A and B are shown apart, each in its own frame.
Chain A
Amino acid sequence: MTLQTLTAHELLNLIKQKKTSAQEIYRSISSQIEKTEKDVHAYAHIFQNPKIEESRECPIPVAIKDNICITDKLTTCSSKILSGFRPPYNATVIEKLKNSGAVFIGHTNMDEFAFGSSTETSYYGPTHNPHKLECVPGGSSGGSAAAVAANEAIWALGSDTGGSIRQPAAFCGVVGLKPTYGRVSRYGLIAFASSLDQIGPITKDVRDAALLMNIIAGYDEKDSTSANIPIPDYTQALIDNVKGLKIGIPKEYFIEGLSEEVKRAVFNAIDLLKKQGAIFKEISLPHTAYAVATYYIVATAEASSNLARFDGVQYGLRIQPQKTRKNPIVDLYEETRDAGFGLEAKRRIMLGTYSLSSGYYDAYYLKGLKVRTLIKQDFEKAFETLDAIITPTTPTTAFKIGEKANDPLSMYLSDIYTISANLSGIPAISIPCATGKDNLPIGLQIMAKPFDEEMLFRISYTFEKNKNH
């Protein structure tokens, strides 16, 4: 049986019917990893002998992004600077998964500290797109998306700061959800940009995403920014019916740079949903053009502060300076951080430090926060009359490894469709909607009001149910 190709809900049914076991499922994943991991390189660290308990609610093999802390397991954000770091605590999402009986396969490869859209900046080397190995899997949760797409995990957790779940999900042809900011606890997620980060599921289909959300979502007293709002049973939102739903198509998302095949795929998806009774209308989100600039100010400023703690004092990498330049401790900081961070991490730390430094704060950081307000207001206004907004997830399908590595700005611009959801805190999902040339998947992005993940599941589920008919 090729258990590794099935979804969690299919596997759980088989377990219920006593047709398979948790052990058997894990073995199928293990052997798949043996087969494909050397080509795909989805994992940064694979765990040996994970705890597998039969008769648990949900003994599904799950891959965890390398920035989500697991007690005593290497958690390194795929950075040299966290070499050897084993946290003495579990992230809240890990506790929740553990309680449901999930089986942890390993920590997945990622762009260093989630700084990137291609998983090329990992200290451990790039991950390859399972659909076409010379292409990137997207990023920064490229390892998680590739693991699910390559059947090296049934489920994966990613984190999304500017599209880091949705973009790799689109590139790898899987489902990726960025929940509403505050819906899933950030406790134990090594922060990139605290006001934008969210953990979310990467799965093979929409039902699995709902199942995984049922486990990980919810208020956490350890996270002051988590929302104390009851969590619905997300599987109840899997309704094959979009009749009468009002969905917006923002004209600013269909501009120069959007590839023809992606555009065509998205409009085919819109046609399909129209046939199912959804009502579409063109809308405007006027500040879209400013989202990338705003994002790079806000995200890098927070990152520069969040990453300051990696200084060689307590844990991780320490470079012992050979000679004194300034003074022993400053030398230790500076040489550890120079050796420990990759170029993109340095670039972002520097940019963030610059925009917060005295004399520039008002012009950059404060300005960024104000434009963030404008972008958020665009969505608030749109959702006064809409149930959802549909866009492409990415302007193109997966690009080649190395293609954008030396052009940071063009790499940043590839996040153009996903960034706004983080800036405004709303939930957004990417689902596979078509296959483009070279067999590369195309993603469809749906966005909804804050805390209305159910709307995303409903529309996604309807699309998924009807797309092959």
Chain B
Amino acid sequence: MISQEDVQYVASLSRIHLKKDEVECLSKDLEKIVDYIKKLESLETANIQPTSHVLPIQNVFREDIIKPSLSQKEALHFSIEQHQGCFKVPKIIE
């Protein structure tokens, strides 16, 4: 059972401010989908290794050699807001 509180919690973890109708609609959808996903419970997997990579690739390294960085202008080229060579954001309150 996915309550609207669960949805609100997950929305806040996801940093999405849902409108009220979205909360209702998404809790119904998620409920349905999670219900469907529950079919996995019937499978016995205690001794099964999880697969996070399908290929058995290991040990991919990079040598510790410097390559040119972007210039400050290039780095900030796509920025929404910039100031004094930095990305500008609302004040962070600690």
Contact = CB atoms under 8 A, between A and B. Distances in A.
Report if A and B associate in a common complex: yes
A276 B40 CA distance: 40
A85 interface: yes
B23 to A, nearest CB: 10
Contacts of B33: 296, 347, 351, 408-409, 412
Interface string A355-371: 10100000110111111
Interface in A343-399: 343, 346-347, 349-351, 353-355, 357, 363-364, 366-374, 376
B68 to A, nearest CB: 13
Contacts of B79: 314-315
Interface string B22-36: 100110011011101
A337 B14 contact: yes
Given A347-B30, A368-B40, A225 B74 contact: no
A294 B40 contact: yes
Contacts of A355: 37
Contacts of A195: 52-54
B22 A293 contact: no
B14 A373 contact: no
A254 to B, nearest CB: 20
A308 B15 CA distance: 8
B83 interface: no
Interface in B71-94: 74, 77-81, 87, 89-93
Interface string A316-360: 101000000101111111110110010100110111011101000
A181 interface: yes
Contacts of B22: 343, 346
B50 A370 contact: yes
Given A88-B74, A350-B14, A329 B80 contact: no
Interface in A185-235: 195, 221, 224-225, 227
Residue among A227, A308, A370 with max Cβ neighbours from chain B (10 Å): A370
Interface in B32-71: 32-34, 36-37, 39-41, 43, 45, 48-55, 57, 60, 62, 70
B20 interface: no
A450 B55 contact: yes
Interface of B: 2, 6-7, 9-19, 22, 25-26, 29-30, 32-34, 36-37, 39-41, 43, 45, 48-55, 57, 60, 62, 70, 74, 77-81, 87, 89-93
23 contacts: A195-B53, A289-B39, A297-B40, A312-B80, A313-B89, A314-B78, A318-B80, A328-B91, A331-B17, A337-B16, A346-B22, A347-B26, A349-B14, A350-B10, A351-B30, A351-B33, A367-B41, A370-B51, A371-B45, A373-B51, A376-B54, A423-B54, A450-B54
Interface of A: 84-88, 181-182, 195, 221, 224-225, 227, 287, 289-290, 292-294, 296-297, 304, 308, 311-316, 318, 325, 327-335, 337-338, 341, 343, 346-347, 349-351, 353-355, 357, 363-364, 366-374, 376, 408-409, 412, 423-425, 450
